[in-house]
């Protein structure tokens, strides 16, 4: 834990926060460490679990610890009955202690005040106490579709502060009037609190930037990138070249000139766009080519459904040309090839590996692979994900998770619709928490720090995910994919806690 805690108690000499936890010197009765849970917070009947480690001096002093919760301001009412006696503690050994917050008058369901929770020494202590981890489990269900107003708190002050690699999120600008990051205060608040990098969900794709040949329209993307910059966030550029029908400019689709001129037009797009955003100063990475491989076995370069392949003279040469143009325009930027399903470690990864080997042999500049990671709740396994990432790591290339989401319902997941989930129950929310944790853990365990390009989630809340749009018919217009870290009302989901647990080295559980 590196932030969010402070000392409490008269004469507290302060706390020490490092990767080991939060420590304080127990120099007197009531000395301890606390952290805030922001209102509104329904803490009544919540369980606070902590893992603590006390020094031999503390143990020898015979004193106890007390987890407590306290409503800030006013008369600072609190829960003080949670004793962890000295006999429960072993010097130098991690020990779990717990407290159920319970007050008859329910004043811990707070709308008006923040609540602080923490642990303090009682009696005449000496020595030090380290809080290795802390968890708050709220009583109410974690249903994100509930309209009861119940709110889950993942107790994460800021996700980005827990990670030593970049934590990002895809957001909209004018492609979604409702969820526009520039006008929706809730989007802004959430993005600014938890993330340090934004990816444009759509507006930096080709047709948004050069719909007609030679006519570049940067205003929307500029506003997006400038906003990020004003909040000290970087932008991950997405995507310079993508075959998907809806965003390939018409002039490219209907290209009737030579293949060589088509490649030149493609290079012009890349050079103009990368040059433009280089000048901003907060865009240092690009998805240069997106989804150029098929899902077949064996996988091949996409052909019949790719304007780029066809107009390049039925050739995949456009891929290397794109990387060369991007590198020329941005010598320092990190250049990624980005794709989906490669985490399943199959034929597609084999084809990708082949391309990486070939690029390396011929000095085609590429720095890493973007794993989109639109995954199911139960597939692929964390070990398959790790194995696929290792294949990229073994090439000495960076791995960035670029579009993470974990679908509860998805037509290609879990025998849908036979196993369709109709209600996002607490147990499903907690299973998703564990799944997020295991994915992040697989990434941390597999990708060495120097090769971590970071992790971005593909959207903020369950209300605004591409899955709801794409599968509108299958989902009968309901928003039932529930794939993200925040519910439709911008509240934390257990998934956020799972993400944080992995970052903090806490075991992945569905508790």
Residues forming contacts to ligand 9MR in the complex (CB under 6 A) are 201-202, 244, 246, 290, 372, 403, 466, 469
Q: State the Cα–Cα distance between residues 76 and 86, nearest whole angstrom.
A: 27
- Torsions phi, psi for 454 (to 5 deg): 110, 180
Q: How many Cβ atoms are within 10 Å of 267's Cβ, its own excluded?
A: 18
Q: Residue 127 in contact with residue 15, Cβ under 8 Å?
A: no
Of 187, 196, 267, 403, the catalytic one is 403
- Torsions phi, psi for 339 (to 5 deg): -155, 165
Q: State the Cα–Cα distance between residues 399 and 367, nearest whole angstrom.
A: 9
235: Cβ–Cβ under 8 A, 6 or more apart, which residues? 197, 198, 199, 200, 224, 225, 228, 277, 280, 282, 283
Nearer to ligand 9MR, 246 or 415 (CB): 246
Pick from 365, 374, 369: which is nearest to 352 by CA?
Answer: 369
38 DSSP assignment: P
Nearer to ligand 9MR, 172 or 334 (CB): 172
Q: Which residues pair with 71 in a beta bridge?
A: 115
344 DSSP assignment: G
Q: Residue 454 in contact with residue 197, Cβ under 8 Å?
A: yes
Whether 245 sits among the annotated catalytic residues: the reply is no
Whether 343 sits among the annotated catalytic residues: the reply is no
Q: Which residue has the tokens 């998770």?
A: 401
Nearer to ligand 9MR, 201 or 237 (CB): 201
Radius of gyration (C-alpha) of the chain in whole angstroms: 25
Task: Write down the least CB distance from residue 372 to ligand 9MR, Å.
Answer: 5
Task: Write down the least CB distance from residue 340 to ligand 9MR, Å.
Answer: 6
Q: Residue 466 in contact with residue 486, Cβ under 8 Å?
A: no
Pick from 411, 419, 432: which is nearest to 487 by CA?
Answer: 432
Q: Residue 438 in contact with residue 508, Cβ under 8 Å?
A: yes
473: Cβ–Cβ under 8 A, 6 or more apart, which residues? none
Rounded-to-5 percentages of helix, strand, coil across the chain: 30, 25, 45
Q: State the Cα–Cα distance between residues 184 and 181, nearest whole angstrom.
A: 6
Q: Which residue has the tokens 């994460």?
A: 156
Supply the residues annotated as catalytic: 291, 403
């Amino acid at each position: 834990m590196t932030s969010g805690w402070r000392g409490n108690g008269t004469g507290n000499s302060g706390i020490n926060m490092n990767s080991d936890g939060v420590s304080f010197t127990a120099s007197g009765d009531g000395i301890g460490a606390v952290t805030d849970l922001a209102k509104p917070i329904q803490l009544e009947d919540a369980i606070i679990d902590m893992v603590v480690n006390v020094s031999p001096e503390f143990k020898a002093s015979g004193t106890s610890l007390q987890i407590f919760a306290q409503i800030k301001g006013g008369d600072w009412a609190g829960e003080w009955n949670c004793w962890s006696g000295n006999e429960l503690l072993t010097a130098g050994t991690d020990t779990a202690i717990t407290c159920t917050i319970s007050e008859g008058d329910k004043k811990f369901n707070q709308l008006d005040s923040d609540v602080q929770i923490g642990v303090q020494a009682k009696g005449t202590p000496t020595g030090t106490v380290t809080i290795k981890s802390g968890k708050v489990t709220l009583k109410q269900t974690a249903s994100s579709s509930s309209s009861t107003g119940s709110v889950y708190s993942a107790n994460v002050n800021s996700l980005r502060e827990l990670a030593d690699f970049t934590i990002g999120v895809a957001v909209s600008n004018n492609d979604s009037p409702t969820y526009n990051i520039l006008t929706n205060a809730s989007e802004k608040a959430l993005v600014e609190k938890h993330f340090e990098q934004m990816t444009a969900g759509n507006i930096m794709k080709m047709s948004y930037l050069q719909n007609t040949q030679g006519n570049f329209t940067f205003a929307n993307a500029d506003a997006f990138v400038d906003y990020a910059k004003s909040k000290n966030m970087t932008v991950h550029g997405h995507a310079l070249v993508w075959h998907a029908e809806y965003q390939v400019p018409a002039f490219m689709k209907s290209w009737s000139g030579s293949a060589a001129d088509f490649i030149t037009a493609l290079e012009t797009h890349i050079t103009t766009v990368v040059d433009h955003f280089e000048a901003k100063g907060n865009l240092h990475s690009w998805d240069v080519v997106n989804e150029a491989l098929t899902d077949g076995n064996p996988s091949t370069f996409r052909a019949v459904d790719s304007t780029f392949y066809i107009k390049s003279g039925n050739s995949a040469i456009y891929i290397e040309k794109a990387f060369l143009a991007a590198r020329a325009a941005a010598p320092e930027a990190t250049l990624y090839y980005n794709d989906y399903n490669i985490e399943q470690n199959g034929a597609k990864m084999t084809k990708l590996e082949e391309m990486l080997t070939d690029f390396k042999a011929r000095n085609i500049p590429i720095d890493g692979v973007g794993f989109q990671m639109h995954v199911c709740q139960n597939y692929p396994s964390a070990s398959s994900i790790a194995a696929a990432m290792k294949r990229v790591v073994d090439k000495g290339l960076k791995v960035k998770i670029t579009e993470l989401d974990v679908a509860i319902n998805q037509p290609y997941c879990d025998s849908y619709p036979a196993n369709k989930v109709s209600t996002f129950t607490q147990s499903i929310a907690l299973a998703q928490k564990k799944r997020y944790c295991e994915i992040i853990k697989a990434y941390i365990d597999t990708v060495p720090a120097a090769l971590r390009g970071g992790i971005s989630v593909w959207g903020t809340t369950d209300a605004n995910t591409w899955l709801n749009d794409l599968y509108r018919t299958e989902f009968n217009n309901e928003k039932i994919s529930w794939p993200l870290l925040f519910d439709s009302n911008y509240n934390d989901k257990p998934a956020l806690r799972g993400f944080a647990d992995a970052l903090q080295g806490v075991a992945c559980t569905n508790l």
